[in-house]
Structure 1
Amino acid sequence: MSSTTPPPATAAIRRYRPTDHDAVYDICVRTADAGGDARGRYASDDLMPDLFAGPYLHLQPDLAFVLTDADRVVGYVVGTADTSAFVRAYRREWIPRLADRYPEATRPPRTPDEEMIALHHHPERLLLPELAGYPAHLHIDLLPEHQRRGHGRRLLETFASATARAGAPALHVGMVTANAAARRFYAALGFHVIPVPDPGPLTYLGRATG
């Protein structure tokens, strides 16, 4: 996702619009398997977007931006300037909104779908003390054919500037450790590792918003 060729003149970044919803969901699932295509991996292709894109589009649309190429949405960045406030809103609004789709389990998760749904019902997992100094966080995805063209850098800097204006001094990402391309991308943009005890499959990275 690093810049190797100049962005085409047709590519542009703009704020998210409600009509972009389905395109964002499609991009999310196509890049949700450590950067690879997760379509067919879960019972519903909406599961990953419902966790990692939809709540931001619903709760923080002012911090959602899309990359378009010839008016087609080919990438996006979503997130929040205040993770603590986002977690409270997620529990208050997003979990009830999807209650019929993802009822809370009465037993420990046994399948990949159940593991993801368990994450949905525990947004407080985002509140790690080591991340308190990096109150903003984000998710960024681009279709493969639009990676390595500088678009990711532009999207991330657009988001960072917006969160800085919202008062966040720093931001973080929780990336799947196995996604080596994402690690290189974030390193090139000045992110450093935030040590977190027992981070599971994730590596946490942070940097200033300015």
Structure 2
Amino acid sequence: MTDIRAYRPSDRAAVAAICTRTGDSGADATGQFSTDDLLPDIYALPYVEHEPELALLVDAGAGPIGYILGTADTTAFDRWFVERWWPTVEGKYAAAAASGVASESERGIVRSATDRGGLAPELLAQYPAHLHIDLLPETQGMGVGRRLIDAFCELLAERGVPGVHLGVGVSNTGAQQFYQRTGFTRVEGDPGAHWYAKVL
């Protein structure tokens, strides 16, 4: 039996591990950077720290195997991320860059952490929320991706949020097709990703 349940603080390490194990366009990114903390520190842990009530996990009984995380207000989240969250973790990445351990790919990801690209302002007003969804390979074929999207969007709608958006890697065509099947449409945003949005 696969359940979708609310995040608990005891899930923090599992969320970080799922983020890393799906961090290479759905494939395992373990060992690709100076530390496996990199992707979770940017794309997962800030969300469970800032808005844990919007974090939902897929649990097949032996622990989490996927999640959806996000924020109801991207502008407020980005401000908090830059001012409050990133200063608590950026030191380890500065050290890796200074020592020459960090790859060019890692340095680019670190730069993007505080260069919070996304939708154009007029679109952000229509779709102020954003999300990240990551599922381990063992979830495939269970239909949990759609269930997570629906449950997350329901939480946002209960708060009166008008719309939600997300970015997908240009090469991640499988994810792009998935979002289109779940009601997202392509919108304009910063280059380097494909942007999708959905009215709630």
**Same fold per superposition (TM over 0.5):** yes
Q: Quick one: which of 36, 39, 44 aligns to 2:30?
A: 39
Within a 5 Å distance, the mapping from 1:103-118 to structure 2 comes to 103=94, 111-118=104-111
User: 1:110 & 1:97 partners in 2: Cα distance?
Assistant: 21
Larger relative contact order (C-alpha < 8 A, sep ≥ 6)?
1
Q: CA deviation at 1:199?
A: 1.5
Q: CA deviation at 1:110?
A: 6.8
Match of 1:208 in 2: 199
2:58 maps to amino acid: L
Q: Is the 8 A contact 1:131 1:194 kept in 2?
A: no
1:191 maps to amino acid: F
User: 2:118 & 2:16 partners in 1: Cα distance?
Assistant: 21
SS at match of 2:35: coil
User: 1:97 & 1:49 partners in 2: Cα distance?
Assistant: 13
SS at match of 1:101: helix
SS at match of 1:114: helix
User: 1:100 & 1:199 partners in 2: Cα distance?
Assistant: 28
Within a 5 Å distance, the mapping from 1:41-80 to structure 2 comes to 41-80=32-71
Q: List gaps (5 residues or longer) in structure 2.
A: none
Match of 1:153 in 2: 146
Q: List gaps (5 residues or longer) in structure 1.
A: 1-9
Match of 1:14 in 2: 5
User: 2:197 & 2:55 partners in 1: Cα distance?
Assistant: 19
Q: CA deviation at 1:148?
A: 2.6
User: 2:182 & 2:17 partners in 1: Cα distance?
Assistant: 26
TM (norm. structure 2) is 0.90
TM (norm. structure 1) is 0.86
Deviations 1:166-186 (A, max 9, x none): 221110110112111111211
User: 1:63 & 1:91 partners in 2: Cα distance?
Assistant: 20
Q: Is the 8 A contact 1:84 1:127 kept in 2?
A: no
Deviations 1:81-127 (A, max 9, x none): 11011011112210122143234979xx971111111112323x246
Match of 1:5 in 2: none
**Considering only aligned residues, what root-mean-square deviation do their CA atoms show, in Å?**
1.9
Q: Is the 8 A contact 2:120 2:188 kept in 1?
A: no
User: 1:32 & 1:52 partners in 2: Cα distance?
Assistant: 9
Q: Is the 8 A contact 2:118 2:167 kept in 1?
A: no
Q: Is the 8 A contact 2:166 2:197 kept in 1?
A: yes
1:16 maps to amino acid: Y
Q: How many residues of Structure 1 are paired with residues of Structure 2 in the alignment?
A: 195
